[in-house]
Structures are given as C-alpha cells and as structure tokens.
Amino acid sequence: MTNLNKFSLAMGVLAMSAVPAIAQEAQTMDEKINAGFASATGWFVNFIFAPLPGTSFPWIVMWLVIAATVFTFYFSFVQLKFFKHAISLVKGDYSDPNDAGEVSHFQALATALSGTVGLGNIAGVAVAVGIGGPGATFWMILAGLMGMASKFTECTLGVKYRNEYEDGTVSGGPMYYISKGFNELGLPGGKILAVLFSIFCILGALGGGNMFQANQAHAQIAGILGDYPGWITGIVFAVVVYAVIVGGVKSIARVTEKVVPFMGILYCVAALIIILVNYDKIGWAFGQIFDGAFTGLGVAGGFVGALIQGFKRAAFSNEAGVGSAAIAHSAVKTKEPITEGFVSLLEPFIDTVVICTMTALVITISGQLIIDPASGNYVVEGGKIATVGGTSGVSLTSAAFASAFSWFPYVLAIAVILFAFSTMISWSYYGLKAWTYLFGEGKTTELIFKIIFCVFIVIGAAASLGPVIDFSDAAIFAMAVVNITGLYFLMSVVKKEFNSYKSRLDSGEIKKFEH
C-alpha cells in the first residue's frame, strides 16, 4: 500500500467515524444538523430567490427563461431544425469507424443523462405539481423545449475549449470555456467568472448533486423500513460512494450504470401503462394542465405560481444553462464540437419533455391532488395543494403510482436509491473538476474534495427536506448565473461553428459513414 493509499484510508475512516461518534445522543443529532444548516445557508438562498422588485417573481427564473429564449432565437430554433440530425449523430451515422473505441455520442449523452435523470423527474415534478398545480407542467414542458437551445450552446463550447492532457485524459466545462474563450476574444474577467463558476459548481455538487439525493434516498428507505435517524443512511451511502470515487471500486459504478437506464425505462413503461389504462382521463388531464397554466385553478400564487414552479423544477431537473452537462459532454471524441451540442439538445427533451411530463400526468390522473367539488378548484392548505394522505415530494409520486400498481412504491424506492447514487457519482465528478480547476490537479487535492463530498452525504441524509432543497436549488441556479453570462459573450463562437457546419452539411461535404 502506498503512502497515499494509507493516507486516504486513514482520512476516510476518520471522516466516516467522526459523525457517529458525535451522534451518540441519537435523535437530536438530525435536529442539530438541520438547524445549523438552515441558519448557515439562509442568506444565500434568499439572495438567489429574491423576487423582482414589486413582484413575487424570482429574478433567477426570469434569467433562465430569457437566456433560453435568446439562444432559441439566436440559433433560429436549432432544437427543432436539428432534432433529427441529433438522433442520427447518436445512432453513429456520422461517426468515423477509425474512431471506434473512443467515447461515442451515445455514451456522452447517456452519461450526462444519468446525471440529470433522477430525483428531479420524480420528486421535483411532484413538488412542482403539488405547489403550482397541473398547470406547472405546461411551463415545465416549455422550459424543457427552450432549454434545449441553452444546452446546445454550452455543450458545444464544452468540447471546443476542453483541456486535452498529454496522458490522453480530458477536462472540460464552463470554467475552461469561459477562461479560454474570453482570452481568445480579448475579453476581460474570464478568469474571475471561471473561478466563481467553480465555487458555485462545488456548492451545487454538494447540494443538488449530493445532499438532496441523500435526503430523498433516506426518505424512501425510511418509508419502507420505518423511521430511523438519517445519518445512518448517510453513512452507508457515504461508504459506498467513497468506495467508488476513492477506492476505485468500478464494479459498483458499472452495475449502477447498467441498472439505472433499466430503471428509467421501467419507470416510463409503468407511467405509460397508467396513462393508457386511464385513457379516458388523458383529455381531462391535459385540460387541467392548459387551464392551470394560465389561470392557476386556484393554486397559491395563481398562474405565476404555476409558472415559477414549472420553470424552477424544469431547470433543476434538466440543468439546461447550469453548465454541468458541458462537463460531462466534453469527453466525446469528435472533430466537430458542434455535433456534441446537437446531441446534448436531446437531453432536456428526454429528461423534461418526456419523463417529467409522464410523472406530472400520472400525478394528475391518479387523483392524489384534492379538488373542491363545489368550485372545481384545488384545495390549498398552507401554500400547497392538499393531497390524499398529505403526501409531497417522492411520496406523492409514489402514492400516485401506487393507485394503479400497489407494489410500485417498492420499485420506485429502489429506483430512487439507484438514481440518487448515480447522480451522486456524476456530480462528484463535476464538483471534482471544479475543485481541481481551483486548486490544481493532483491526488491529494482530489482526495480532499472526495472526502468533503462523502461527509456532505451524511449531512444531507440527516437534514430535513426544506432547507436542503432550498440550498440545492440556490447553488445550482448560482452556477447558471455565471455560466449564462459566459454563454452570452461566447455564443458568437458557437454561431460561427454552427454556420460552418450547416453549410458543409448542406453541400454534402459532411457525409454519413457506411457502417
């Protein structure tokens, strides 16, 4: 065993053993973590979600919507015009057989998707529909469609400006394209933005990519096994994640990477069956979605409430404009960075337009949201729509699926745990890339981040949902503030690539390969 291995083992054991040692007083431990966490992060959350003056509309949501709209128009509806081409690229029609063995478009897309498909699609949608009503779905779909253009822009840049090292490994992402791209265009401030992005990315990795996942995974396990302290789940998760990211136990990651797509498909099939069995309610459900989108159907905050929830949860689920996907997509082997942009625009489509919509339809159709028979509006209690059994988050989705298949909550629990795990693995990598951008590449610096990451799993599992979800959202949206600022300055670079590729595709210079 090398000294480094010994050091990492010692640090790991220390980190893991510290929490249970303090937690001797059992139950109060969760409460202490919770209170401390909420007071430490409150100011940050308040700033990110501050409403626009004179309204109740958070400025950050407006920021994302405007960006997605700008990119959609700037690239003249690339998400519609190049949708078919994107599928062709994923199928490998344009891949040079001599590049076989490199990361394929499909693999880059699948890796990025396994980082985004997960709790956002299950719990996030339930939160959106539970607060904003079915109308939130309409805004969620719209945000997903528009977000495709944001994703296209950031992923093209991710590949274009990635670092390729002598040993053949690559690092990419907003911190690289912002600093290198700004330099190339002679713009000042690139380095500062890149550093800022990296800081928020680390917070996002620890929040949405870690604590939120651990928290919801614990809620699922506790739902089945009965209530017990969250830090116990946290430690189990932390040990497994530690084994994968530090111990290099690739077999665990490999199993997860294979089971996660299977769970994703199973989830969609189950949702489709429920929707098809209730085919007579599909029209009504879409009616609720469209009516609710503009009137709110009596939910808290009316149509603005539905809109805010829809956009918020869509952004949290598909991460378009956040910059995380650019890190995942930058590993692909291609001579044309723009092709990865095309492929990545499928991500918000699959994640939000398809999977999130299915969840929302199942919740709406299942009748879990209580409607006042007299007025036809939803019954609102404490800012949320009243549900059968008072459920929210994952448990609302679970109850909705259980109304058709009584055994489904068990499958969903396993899915949530696996989704949580694969999302954590993805985000540990995103966070690590931001960390090494700030502190330099090297085994010891990497190890420090990985240990911090594991400790936060325990904190996330122990804290209650409210403060965790607020902090997770805030950190991820803070990444979008910096990333989108960078994208505005660099979108002309993407446009050049786009025009050049388009003309070569039209002239027949870029051809399909025969396979």
Partner 1 sequence: MTATLVVGLDGHGSGERAVAYAKRMAELIGDCNLLIVYIIEWSPYTFQTPEENAERHKRREEEIETALKRVVDPTVKALEKDGITAKGIVRHGHVADALNAISLEEKAEQIIVGRSTASGIAERIFGSSTAKLVMSASIPVTVVG
Shortest gap between Cβ of 90 and partner 1 (angstroms)?
A: 9
Question: What Cα–Cα distance (Å) separates residue 269 from each residue in 31, 105, 359, 397, 398?
Answer: 39, 25, 11, 15, 15
Shortest gap between Cβ of 327 and partner 1 (angstroms)?
A: 7
Nearer to partner 1, 312 or 329 (CB): 329
Shortest gap between Cβ of 216 and partner 1 (angstroms)?
A: 21
Structure tokens at 411: 């499958």
SS3 of 25-78: the string is HCCHHHHHHHHHHHHHHHHHHHHHCCECCCCCCEHHHHHHHHHHHHHHHHCCCH
Nearer to partner 1, 34 or 324 (CB): 324
Nearer to partner 1, 162 or 312 (CB): 162
User: Where on the chain is the footprint of partner 1 (CB under 8 A)?
Assistant: 92, 95, 97-98, 100-108, 110-111, 114-115, 164, 167-171, 250, 253-254, 257-258, 260-261, 327-328, 331-333, 425-426, 429-430, 515
Shortest gap between Cβ of 325 and partner 1 (angstroms)?
A: 10
Nearer to partner 1, 31 or 164 (CB): 164
Max CA separation in the chain (angstroms): 72
Shortest gap between Cβ of 176 and partner 1 (angstroms)?
A: 13
Distance separating alpha carbons of residues 341 and 110, to the nearest angstrom: 14
Helix ranges (H only) for 296-336 are: 302-318, 324-329
Shortest gap between Cβ of 429 and partner 1 (angstroms)?
A: 4
Structure tokens at 69: 């709209």
Nearer to partner 1, 332 or 362 (CB): 332
Angle at 490 between CA 486 and CA 495, to 5 degrees: 145
Nearer to partner 1, 262 or 284 (CB): 262
Q: What kind and span of H or E run contains 384? A: strand 384-385
Nearer to partner 1, 25 or 166 (CB): 166
Shortest gap between Cβ of 108 and partner 1 (angstroms)?
A: 7
Task: Look at residues 277, 188, 181, 221 and name the one whose alpha carbon lies nearest to residue 414.
Answer: 221
Task: Look at residues 117, 129, 511 and name the one whose alpha carbon lies nearest to residue 351.
Answer: 117
